[in-house]
Structures are given as structure tokens and as C-alpha cells.
Amino acid sequence: MDSIEKQKEDIFKSLKNFIAEVVGEDVAEELNIEPESVFTRDLEMDSIEIVSFAEKVKAAYGDNIDFNGWLSGMEMEQLINLSINDVVNYIVDANSSNK
């Protein structure tokens, strides 16, 4: 596994933990949280949960990324279809461009 794949896997695990913290461990266990999971459709997260998730991402990766700026630049349809993979890729890209 190359370092980018390892980095993506580590970020996915962190994001999965953040989701569990936001929606509750018991709910998260019932969800099949995959990299392709869409926050609104597959994980059924509402806007308040997504904001809470975004705060956790910002707290963990905020020095290197402008997560809120990235989200605010999206169209509504992009936000509705946002997947965990989209966030993972954004964090990896932002981290690599900030080095």
C-alpha cells in the first residue's frame, strides 16, 4: 500500500469515528459506513449533524484545510451528494498542496 492509500485509509477511519460520535455509536453500528457513503442519503445525517461533523473535521485537520470554505463553494446538489470519499480526497489534496 502506498503512502497516499494509507493516508486515505487513516483519514477514513477518523471520519468514521467522527460520524459515530455525531450520530451515536448505536446508530453508527447499524449503518454500513463505507468510503462511498453519502452523508444525507446513506447515513441520513441532517444539517445539524453535518455541521457537528464539519466542526470535528476542522478541529482535527483545520490547520491544513479550509473545510468550511470548501463546502461553501459547492452547489446544493454537490452538498446533498457529498460522500465520505469526497472529504477524504479533499483532505489528502489539501495536505499535499500545503507541504
Mean pLDDT of 40-55: 93
Model confidence at 81, in pLDDT bands (50, 70, 90)? very high
Q: Which CATH number fits domain 3-97: 1.10.1240.10, 2.70.98.10, 1.10.1200.10, 3.40.50.720?
A: 1.10.1200.10
Mean pLDDT of 38-47: 94
Model confidence at 99, in pLDDT bands (50, 70, 90)? low
Share of the chain above pLDDT 70, in %: 97
Query: What's 38's DSSP letter?
Result: B
Q: In this structure, which amino acid lies at residue 81? A: N
Asked if the model's pLDDT at residue 2 lies above 90, the reply is: no
Query: Alpha-carbon distance 66 to 82, whole Å?
Result: 16
Distances from the Cα of 21 to the Cα of 28, 53, 55, 57, 88, angstroms? 8, 8, 12, 12, 18
Asked if the model's pLDDT at residue 65 lies above 90, the reply is: no
Mean pLDDT of 64-86: 92
Listed by start position, the domains of the chain span 3-97
